[in-house]
Amino acid sequence: MIDEKTAWQAVADRDRSFDGKFVTGVLSTGIYCRPSCAARHPKRENVRFFAKAEQAEAAGLRACLRCCPNDVARDEAAVKAVVEAVRMAESSPKLDELADVTGYSPAHLQRIFKRETGLSPAAYARALRSERVKDALDGGASVTEAIYEAGYGSASSFYEDKRMGMQPSVWKNGGAGAMVRWASVETTLGPMMVAATDKGVCCLSFGEGEAELRGRFPKAELQQGGDDFQKLLGDVVAQVETPARPHNIPLDVQGTAFQEAVWQELRKIPEGETRSYADIAVAIGKPRAVRAVGSANGANHVAVLIPCHRVVRSDGAMGGYAYGLEIKQLLLEKEQG
């Protein structure tokens, strides 16, 4: 049995890596849970820790129906089986097929897989195939070869599968063949640069210009945005200046599966609120990946629209920001009214 201080910290962090190593007995409710249980945290004085579920039951406690602490080993085996099935399949298996492999219902499998990995089985399959395309391109394959090697039946199915992202030629050739339109505009936060492909915004930054944009897309065709760019530019400025209003602005960004999970979680943070790096790590199901979350945060090239400014340190301190803490503070003040 691990020491109680470590056990309580694992409960406070909802750290899934401790699931199966002990259970948390809550004397006030008469139940015992996994360390990662999503239920509201009990008071420390009402908690006892048990090395095994049998010990908790001998003390008169019953298993939590929300986190099902007795199913840890089975859940882990199910997730591993799904990962293996997805990796071995030539095309993305259907959820019903994966459920048959594990013996779980499709709905329950969906829940536990997302809880353990931060992604649904379908999203995991898409991310895996997307990364296989990138690996094949890095290895010198043509775009068409890379798409088929990754398990797509056609080029069109690859593009239909994309969640957020440029075409694979951008990954392979540093933007060769891509048209990126851009413009700089004055805002209450200072000069802001906005760049976009025909799919959506691919860069939003402060105090930067064409040289920095060229560094991000060294082989793309850069072009100053014309009249047709003004509406998108106006929408982006409105998002920055009046964050409380909804603005549905399309994005065109690409990262690893982990980075995209972090970015998606950032976009869930309500205006006027903040989260810590540890909070984000827990939310995506990787509680020990706090540093990796910080790196993913720093890899975001679309400020405000992917609101990395809403992430602060666990002690409440501002932490860093690519465009300076003054801009970060001003953004938060705008959102908090």
Q: Which amino acid makes up residue 271?
A: E
Residues 98 and 127 in one domain: yes
Residues 311 and 324 in one domain: yes
Residues 82 and 101 in one domain: yes
Q: Which of 6-15, 254-263, 325-334 has the lowest mean pLDDT?
A: 254-263
Reduced to 3 states, what is the DSSP secondary structure of residue 302? strand
> What is the residue-averaged pLDDT of the chain?
83
Looking at residue 122, what is its pLDDT?
Answer: 84
pLDDT tens string 137-156 = 556 555 455 555 555 554 44
Q: Which of residues 25, 47, 67 is at a domain's end?
A: 67
Asked if the structure places residue 121 within a domain, the reply is: yes
Reduced to 3 states, what is the DSSP secondary structure of residue 191? strand
Structure tokens at 159: 């593009």
At residue 171, does pLDDT exceed 50? no
Asked if the structure places residue 219 within a domain, the reply is: no
Residues 99 and 78 in one domain: yes
Residues 87 and 125 in one domain: yes
Asked if the structure places residue 178 within a domain, the reply is: no
The CATH number assigned to the domain holding 37 equals: 3.40.10.10
Asked if the structure places residue 91 within a domain, the reply is: yes
Reduced to 3 states, what is the DSSP secondary structure of residue 312? strand
Q: Which of 64, 67, 202, 308 is catalytic?
A: 308
Report the side by side order of strands in the sheet with 201-206.
201-206, 190-196, 179-187, 221-224
Asked if the structure places residue 241 within a domain, the reply is: no
Beta bridge partners of 223: 181
Kindly state the average pLDDT of the residues 247-258.
79
Looking at residue 315, what is its pLDDT?
Answer: 83
How many separate domains does the chain show? Answer: 3
Asked if the structure places residue 212 within a domain, the reply is: no
Q: Which domain holds residue 43?
A: 4-67
The CATH number assigned to the domain holding 268 equals: 1.10.10.10
Residues 58 and 83 in one domain: no
Looking at residue 68, what is its pLDDT?
Answer: 86
For the whole prediction, is pTM greater than 0.75?
Answer: no
Q: Centre a 10 Å sphere on the Cβ of residue 203 and count the other Cβ atoms it contains.
A: 21
Helix (H) or strand (E) holding 194: strand 190-196
Residues 63 and 133 in one domain: no
Residues 10 and 46 in one domain: yes
Asked if the structure places residue 154 within a domain, the reply is: yes
Residues 104 and 81 in one domain: yes
Residues 48 and 96 in one domain: no
Q: What angle do CA 288, 80, 151 make, to 5 degrees?
A: 105
Q: What angle do CA 300, 82, 115 make, to 5 degrees?
A: 55
* CB burial readout 22-44, b (16+ within 10 A) else e: bbbbbbeeebbbbbbbeeeebee
Structure tokens at 261: 């999970």
Q: Which of 33, 67, 202, 203 is catalytic?
A: 33
Q: What angle do CA 204, 210, 213 make, to 5 degrees?
A: 50
Q: Which of residues 48, 67, 86 is at a domain's end?
A: 67
At residue 116, does pLDDT exceed 50? yes
Asked if 240 and 192 count as a contact pair (C-beta separation under 8 A), the reply is: yes
Q: Is 68 a catalytic residue?
A: no
Residues 47 and 117 in one domain: no
pLDDT tens string 32-89 = 999 988 888 999 999 999 999 999 999 999 999 888 898 887 888 888 888 888 877 7
Residues 80 and 155 in one domain: yes
Asked if the structure places residue 180 within a domain, the reply is: no
Q: Which of residues 38, 67, 96 is at a domain's end?
A: 67
The CATH number assigned to the domain holding 102 equals: 1.10.10.60
Q: Dump strand ranges (E) for 56-189.
A: 62-63, 179-187
